[in-house]
Chains A and B, each alone.
Chain A
Amino acid sequence: MRKKLFLFVPVILVCSAFVSAAFRKEDVKVHKLDNGLKVLFVEDHGIPNVALYTFFRVGSRNERPGLTGVSHFIEHMMFNGTQKFGPGEFDRKMEFAGGANNAFTSDDMTGYTDWFPAAALEPMIEMEADRMQSLLLDPKVLESERGVIASERRMSVENNNDAILAENVRATAIMAHPYHWDVIGWMSDILSWKREDVLAYYRTYYAPNNAVLILVGDFDGPKALDLIKKYYTGILPGLPPPAVATVEPPQMGPKDVLIRKEAQAPSFEMVFHAPNCTSPEFFPLSLLDLVLLNGQSSRLYKRLVREEQLALNVGGGTQESIDPLLFTISAKPRPGTDLAKLEAVILEELDKVKTQGITESERQKALNAIKSGFYFGLQSINGKATQLGQAEILYGSFENLFTQMDQYAAVTLAQVQEAAKKYFTENNRTVGKLIPQGGVK
């Protein structure tokens, strides 16, 4: 069905090399309720399922010392009972109706992602609306879930050397801004969050005026809107959440992190402060990220993995974020690698960009990757919902999704070189090394 629609909208293709013919801004219907809830609808009848995604403008960026990790904790508690639906009932009812879900928390947002057969639309909307306003935070369940989070931290950080290093490097590079800590939070905070603080945090950030709802899939637009009005209209808006006032001060010299730990292989990471995603400099730097790090033909992969054979892999780059975050280069060094050499080679490659820029062919290659990545991301109803939600939270409007490609296409070689010169400086740099105990010099 959608494949036929493709034939009838070719005009836009002429205007922009990038705008998708099968998924256009016009396919997204927008409605805003009086309480501030923004709703995006995309009817897509490819499969008889619906993706219902709820994004809240809250993440670890909104936390404070003592409550680090609490955004992620609330994400977990959202499955653990409201006044109407007891602990675990959300998942039991949803799975009984043929649905599944997941949720995620990042520095900037918390997302609830439900996938279900079309017939389950009403109960899913009812339950999502319910947990936006009346979370229980039962003390006993809260304690049990605290253990789950502690286990998640042990798995994802403490039993993973690369993650230990990444957490330390982030906390060293970022001094003042709440991006200082990782989304999971510090273990001592995880073990000591108090119920009343968690509840106050929930009440501050879980409000219709701080959320966007996205429906993609097999539903009838007007009927779905009626259901949303039925269940969400009664939810009172909250006060606007406090702004994140802290601005990271400029770094005034290079920083180093050294960790000694029992390990077979070392870990390595280099970061630079980088602009946020709405900064005009974000796009050149993000394009450069692909030239340096995307694929086996990228500059750093070729040099570190293929030619010098110092690393097993290399990755990282920019991250789309509301406030300025980091440009990351993380390499997995081969056991026994001289990490000073690894560091020197990376710096040499960054210097090449600063002095000589990138080539037109590299720019074109990056644009091809961006274009195909854009379409790869739209292949499923879930993918569409994800892209729309992230654009809405990070850029302030889903419409950005449909202009982003043009913004990348407009990046010049000179802008890429300027961005490299500005950000890849010694004073802006933090380098982290995890050295196997008793091992490498």
Chain B
Amino acid sequence: MNARAKLACLAVLLLLIPALSGAATRLPAPEKFSLKNGITVYYFKSAALPLVSFRMWIRGAGTANEPADLEGVANLTANQMMKGTAKMDADAIAEAVDFLGARLSIGASDEYASVNGESLKEHFPRLLEIAADCLTNPVFKDDELQKERKTRLDSLKAVKDNPGSAVRYYFAKAYYGSHPLGHLANGTEISLPKMTTADLKSFHQKYYRPERGVAAVVGDIEKQALLDLLNKTIGLWKPAGSAAPAAALPPLPKRAGKKLILIDKPDATQAYWILGAPGYPLGDAITPQAVVMNTLFGGRFTSWLSTELRIKRGLTYGASSSFQTWPAGGLFTASSYTKNDKIGEMLDLVFDLMNKAKTGFTAEEIESSRNYILGQFPPTLETNASKATAYVRLMFYNLGFDYYDKYLAGIQAVTGASAKDAAAKLIPQTDYVLVVVGKSAEIKKQLEKYGTWTERKITDPGF
């Protein structure tokens, strides 16, 4: 093509830009491929940069399906899948991925395992080959398991040196108890020593199944080239040939009354806390008003929590609240930290705000929250990886590709009354779990007024 023709094409394209830019706000519709072995792949071409992103979720291969005594086996299985296959040992896999300048990881979430990969377009075929090899042919070597086990056990010890990290582990255990969502993905000092390569093989065999895979590829790759590549790689993965085991999470725990846990860390100069209570399930009709409400309560910089604790009083660097959702239920959490002698003052403020939330928000606050959510939405689907993740997530949870359109329309429709209802329903008043990690000698007295605390030392085994 000569230079003049190029310029002509360019001019035509530039004219199209204003008309198209509005459409780019939401998720563009992908093409769908169904591979013979049952894997569904969504594809969207984006050639803005010479990159390709791959995402795949495998239903059931997450922590939710771990045997109760093998907490952490899902994540360890995922980890060990990249530590040796029939063709390559661990070093060869690391070298191959690093040589491409690519990123590849396999990890276990709660209801699924995920494979994330991205690379320059010229390296993508090789990257997908490596990913498919790890997915389908892992060998689970004992020496690799020993190494990783040791690393995980040692990392667990290091977590306790950092109260900001430790509080999350303690909270998960305190809130969920024996529910699978309370499983520590990296295992515990009790479960890790028990795990054998046979456990990993069995978990892999049982839960890694192509017919349970949902994948997406977004980036600078042509459709036919991608199809050929998929058929040569993950398309060759053989279906298990047996009925798939159940994969859904049991309902989340209910909460009646307060549960107060204090973890004594004598060298801490700040006290860290997380408060949690039941939220709402994924896809629930309350979603838009809950999001608008939480944005105001603790979801952004000018939120009530951040304004009262940080902006007005300088008690902390950060204070926030959020919701997490699953089909089986949801969780509300609020968290912050402050120096030891201020923890009582801080928690008083937090409980006051939780109480005040019942009375609702001003019309200006509601409008601001809606604008904020709508204005900050487009960047969440900007990159190849975020689009690919969105395709997989929406299909995995059966939410439909128009989910975000409906969600954003829902946000626009939230009123003061509906946000107030959401606060009344979802901001806990009396039924919650509160975990504090700090120096007991300096904070215990300040905490007594909230109720009876169960106190443990950070050096006690486990969380």
Contact = CB atoms under 8 A, between A and B. Distances in A.
B91 A151 contact: no
B311 A372 contact: no
Contacts of A369: 98, 101
Contact of B316 (A8, A49, A151): A151
B312 interface: yes
Of A97, A155, A334, A382, chain B has the most CB atoms within 10 Å of the CB of A155
Contacts of B20: 1, 45
Interface in B365-389: 367-368, 371-372, 374-376, 378-379, 381-385
A151 B94 contact: no
B372 A100 contact: yes
B176 to A, nearest CB: 24
Interface string A81-106: 00000011001100111111100000
A264 B378 CA distance: 43
Contact of A88 (B266, B307, B338): B307
Contact of A48 (B25, B300, B312, B364): B25
A335 B154 contact: yes
B98 A376 contact: no
Contact of B266 (A87, A148, A160, A262): A262
State which size class the interface on B falls in.
35 or more
B339 A379 contact: no
Nearest to B369: A95
B91 A46 contact: no
Contacts of A45: 17-18, 20-21, 24
Interface in A122-175: 143-152, 154-155, 158-161
Contacts of B211: none
A2 B16 CA distance: 11
Interface in B27-82: 45-51
B422 to A, nearest CB: 19
B375 A116 contact: yes
Interface in A99-123: 99-101, 115-117, 120
B260 interface: no
Contacts of A364: 99
A155 B337 contact: yes
Contact of B383 (A2, A20, A309, A380): A380
B384 A379 contact: yes
A265 interface: yes
A295 interface: yes
Interface string A297-335: 110001001100100100000000000000000001011
A115 B376 contact: yes
B153 to A, nearest CB: 9
Contact of A262 (B24, B25, B267): B267
Interface in B151-178: 151, 154-155, 157-158, 160-164
A295 to B, nearest CB: 4
Looking at B123, B338, B375, B379, which has the most chain A CB atoms within 10 Å of its CB?
B375
Contact of A296 (B98, B119, B314, B374): B98
Interface stretch (B5-13, B200-208, B397-405, B424-432): B5-13
A228 B118 CA distance: 38
Contact of A46 (B24, B364, B376): B24
A159 B25 contact: no
A441 interface: no
Contacts of B315: 147, 151
A88 to B, nearest CB: 6
A99 B375 CA distance: 6
B268 interface: yes
B314 A151 contact: yes
B269 interface: yes
Given A297-B94, A371-B101, A265 B157 contact: yes
A2 to B, nearest CB: 4
B85 interface: no
A375 interface: yes
Interface in B247-272: 266-270
A91 B270 contact: no
Interface string A353-393: 00000000100110111111101101111100000000000
Interface string A5-35: 1111000000000001111000000000000
A98 B376 contact: yes
A98 B24 contact: no
Contacts of A99: 372, 375-376
A160 B162 contact: yes
A370 B317 contact: no
A45 B17 CA distance: 7
B379 A148 contact: no
A365 B316 CA distance: 43
Given A147-B315, A335-B157, A100 B10 contact: no
A263 interface: yes
Interface in B74-115: 90-91, 94-95, 97-102
Nearest to B118: A376
20 contacts: A1-B21, A3-B47, A4-B13, A7-B9, A22-B48, A45-B21, A47-B378, A88-B307, A96-B364, A144-B314, A159-B268, A262-B266, A296-B94, A298-B98, A306-B90, A312-B154, A312-B155, A365-B98, A371-B101, A380-B383
Interface of B: 1, 6, 9-10, 13, 16-18, 20-22, 24-25, 45-51, 90-91, 94-95, 97-102, 118-120, 123, 147, 150-151, 154-155, 157-158, 160-164, 220, 266-270, 300-302, 307, 310-317, 337-339, 364, 367-368, 371-372, 374-376, 378-379, 381-385
Top 5 A-B pairs, shortest CB-CB distance: A98-B375, A147-B314, A368-B101, A372-B101, A3-B47
